[in-house]
C-alpha cells in the first residue's frame, strides 16, 4: 500500500520541476526534537517569542543559558536519509530547490545546493544594535569563558538547540554581549511572533513560481509561513504532494499524501525517480 502511494508520488513528480518545502519532521530522525510531530505529544513546551526576547533581560538570560547547554547537541546532529534523498533528487533534476522551515542547516550539509532557510540558521548570531554577525561556535567559546562552572547534569534536549536548565542555574548565567558594540545578541533565526524577512520570503516565492509542483516533507503546515506556499501552489493550479508522519493542515489540498517515516519514504522516492 505504501509503495503504491510512493509510486503515485513519483508519477506526479516525474517530468515536473518540483520545489520541496521541508519542516521539522525531516530532522527528527537526526535526533532533533520537534514541536508538533507524533513524538512531541505531551511535551508541554512553548518556544520563546520575539517579544519576550527583546523585551526582557531575564528572558534573554534564560534563553542563552539553555542554548549554551543545548548547542553542542544541536551542532552534533547529522543529515539522515531524508536529507540525502532530497539532495539526490535535486542533483538528478527532479527537485528544483528547497525551502525549509528548519534552522539546523542539515539540507546544506547533505548536499542540497539551492536552499532558502525561511527561519534562518542557528549557526550564526546577530547584534540587534549594530547588525554584526558572529559564528555560533565563536559565541559558544565566549560563553564558556564567562561561565566556567556552568554544567547542568543530564539535560533534556528540546527543539531548536534548546535544553532544560534549572532556574537556580539560570540566575547565575552570564550573557555575552556583541564584540563590536556591546549590544544584545540574538540567534539569526526567526522567533515565534517575528516576521520572515521580506527578501527571504520573496526568494522562496519566486522559487515556487518557477516550479511546476510542490512537495511538502515533514511539516504539519500549522504555521502560516509554510502553509501559504500550499495555498499559492493550489491557486496556480500546480500539483501538491505531502510526505509526513502524521496529519497536516494541507492534507485536503494534496493531490498525493504519503504517511510514513521520511528516512524511509524519501529514499524510496528518490530511487524511483533516478
For residue 119, indicate whether it is catalytic.
Answer: yes
- CA gap 272, 274 in Å, rounded: 6
Pairing label, strands 115-117, 18-22: unpaired
* Other CB atoms within 10 A of residue 181 CB: 12
Q: At which residue does the C-alpha cell 538570560 appear?
A: 61
Residue pair 155/165 in contact (Cβ under 8 Å)? The answer is yes
* Other CB atoms within 10 A of residue 274 CB: 10
- CA gap 89, 269 in Å, rounded: 9
> Rounded to whole angstroms, what are the CA distances from 25 to 244, 258, 259?
7, 13, 12
Q: At which residue does the C-alpha cell 528548519 appear?
A: 102
Q: Which listed residue (83, 107, 119, 137) is catalytic?
A: 119
Instruction: State CA 47 to chain mean position distance.
Output: 14
Residues catalogued as catalytic = 119
Amino acid at each position: 500500500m505504501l509503495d503504491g502511494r510512493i509510486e503515485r508520488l513519483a508519477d506526479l513528480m516525474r517530468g515536473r520541476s518540483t520545489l520541496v518545502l521541508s519542516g521539522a519532521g525531516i530532522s527528527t530522525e537526526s535526533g532533533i526534537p520537534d514541536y508538533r510531530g507524533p513524538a512531541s505529544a505531551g511535551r508541554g513546551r512553548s518556544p520563546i517569542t520575539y517579544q519576550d526576547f527583546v523585551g526582557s533581560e531575564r528572558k534573554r538570560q534564560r534563553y542563552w543559558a539553555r542554548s549554551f547547554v543545548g548547542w553542542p547537541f544541536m551542532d552534533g546532529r547529522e543529515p539522515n536519509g531524508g536529507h540525502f534523498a532530497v539532495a539526490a533528487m535535486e542533483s538528478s533534476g527532479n527537485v528544483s530547490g528547497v525551502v525549509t522551515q528548519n534552522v539546523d542547516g542539515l539540507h546544506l550539509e547533505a548536499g542540497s545546493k539551492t536552499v532558502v532557510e525561511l527561519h534562518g540558521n542557528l549557526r550564526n548570531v546577530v547584534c540587534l544594535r549594530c547588525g554584526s554577525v558572529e559564528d555560533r561556535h565563536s559565541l559558544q567559546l565566549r560563553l564558556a569563558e564567562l561561565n566556567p562552572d556552568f554544567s547542568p547534569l543530564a539535560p533534556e534536549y528540546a527543539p531548536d538547540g534548546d535544553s532544560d536548565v534549572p532556574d537556580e542555574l539560570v540566575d547565575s548565567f552570564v550573557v555575552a554581549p556583541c564584540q563590536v558594540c556591546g549590544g544584545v545578541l540574538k540567534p539569526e533565526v526567526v522567533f515565534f511572533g517575528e516576521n520572515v524577512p521580506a527578501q527571504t520570503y520573496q526568494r522562496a516565492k519566486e522559487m515556487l513560481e518557477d516550479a511546476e509542483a510542490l512537495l511538502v516533507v515533514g511539516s504539519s503546515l500549522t504555521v502560516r509561513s509554510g502553509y501559504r506556499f500550499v495555498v499559492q501552489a493550489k491557486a496556480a493550479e500546480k500539483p501538491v504532494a505531502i510526505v509526513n508522519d502524521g496529519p497536516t493542515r494541507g492534507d485536503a489540498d494534496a493531490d498525493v499524501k504519503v504517511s510514513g517515516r521520511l528516512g524511509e519514504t524519501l529514499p524510496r522516492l528518490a530511487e524511483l525517480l533516478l
